Amino acid sequence: MVEAEQDKHAGPEGETELKRVMGPGLLLLFIVGDVLGTGIYALTGKVAGEVGGIVWLPFLVAFVLAAVTACSYLELVTKYPRAAGAALYTHKAFGVHFLTFLVAFAVMSSGITSASTASRAFAENFGESIGFGTGAFGVTTVGLVFMAIIAAVNLRGVGESVKMNVVFTCIELSGLVIIILIGAWALTDGQGDFARAFDFSDVGEKGIFWPVIAATTLAFFAMVGFEDSVNMAEESKNPTRIFPKVLLGGLVLTGIIYLLVSITAIALVDADSLSEGATPLLKVVEVGAPWLPLSVFGIITMCAVANSALINMLMASRLLYGMAKENVLPAVLGKVLPNRRTPWIAILFTTALAAALITFVGAVPALGGTTALLLLAVFAVVNVAVLVLRSDTVEHEHFTAPFGLPYLGAASCAFFVGPWTGRDPVQYLIAGVLLGLGVALWGGTVAYMKSKGKTPGIDDAEHLAE
């Protein structure tokens, strides 16, 4: 009877063409693997450069910000257990096709900037640990080769990509555990200065608020990824029941790991040294465990950032393919390889955009900050969508975000989008160019469709992620 009642409220599980294969364990692994990665490996030093010893505080603020918005996603994914995530929620709440398109394209663009960040981080860690290509030309070259390899894996098929994700997730998690264990060893052995982690004097004359806000705009990049999990709703078993526990559990787990890693890093390496260069955690290993070959940890780091790039390019190409199939982008982007059944034009297009960012933008903080900027804007829309859809009732039980959290999420995400946070203006330029390209493609598609007597637009946002 209990099982029957649970099934009754589990949501419309039968209404999907996708196979429900993900239980709580696999879903947790997907979320943890998506959140962990490039941000903590590449940007810890940059965060330390903003706030000094209290490098953990921006990560904590970013975690709270992510957790608040995650509650809004949970209400929506358990209410509408379908793929497409933010695009679906925007479409249901506002019914404006162009707004739905902008949200979908912003999510796609965030995947490309995130993958470009990972590519640069991979190249920089490759140069430091292997001792090759440490100059600007070398880093760019290695980054482009790396992105080409990601495209090849993506072209081969989603099965290979998912298998690599599982392996890389285990490797990247092991790298952060190594850092935490190094910190524990240093603490018991009397090494390092853990008092630095609680020294608020480094924030300077501005006070603590604005430096922490500026650092959070970087640290938030480390917390993104949880939103991708809602696209797996149609492939999860009983999503309305398992999502709240698994998503919040995964966020808490990654948040604890990030706090421990950042405290360890600042305890073993002072803020000035940590903020220099692009491989902060390699410096931590060098100081705390000099017996561990840097090449070993460098390989772990490269696997971690490779995982971020793989997941994001997979998401970006499929989302672009979905928009092409919905007739809001040129139909050519919806072409697939006959044998592999992969969207090869979309993969090549997203890879070309990533290559341009790697070549002409380059800086990891600029690319990572742009990812956070795009997603924060999307998160603000999603938090508002929750409030709009409160009047829309469904027959099954679902998670409900505590009353005030969507308001707090919408306000805080909108706040962190603004220039008053100290965000680098180049991030707005990159985001604007990417979205401008999307609007141009959309405009051309609309004109073409109308010339053929057809109606353009996202008729069913659920198809975007299929």
Whole domain around residue 204: which residue ranges? 30-465
By three-state DSSP, how is residue 423 classified? coil
Residue 18: the pLDDT is: 45
> Does residue 1 belong to any structural domain of this protein?
no
> Does residue 305 belong to any structural domain of this protein?
yes
Over residues 439-446, mean pLDDT: 88
Residue 17: the pLDDT is: 46
pTM of the model: 0.85
Domain count for the chain: 1
- What does the angle CA 157 – CA 159 – CA 163 come to, to the nearest 5 degrees? 125
Task: Give the DSSP per-residue string, 344-407.
Answer: HHHHHHHHHHHHHHHHHT--HHHHHHHHHHHHHHHHHHHHHHHHHGGG---SS------TTHHH
**pLDDT digit string, tens, across residues 226-263:** 887 776 666 677 777 888 899 999 999 999 999 999 99
CA of residue 209 relative to chain centroid, distance = 25
> Does residue 11 belong to any structural domain of this protein?
no
> Does residue 5 belong to any structural domain of this protein?
no
Residue 436: the pLDDT is: 94
> Does residue 325 belong to any structural domain of this protein?
yes
User: Does pLDDT of 456 surpass 80?
Assistant: no
What CATH number should be reported for the domain holding residue 105? 1.20.1740.10
> Does residue 452 belong to any structural domain of this protein?
yes
> Does residue 421 belong to any structural domain of this protein?
yes
> Does residue 280 belong to any structural domain of this protein?
yes
Residue 10: the pLDDT is: 41
What is the sign, positive or negative, of the torsion defined by CA atoms of 67, 70, 74, 75?
A: positive
Q: Name the DSSP letter for residue 328.
A: S
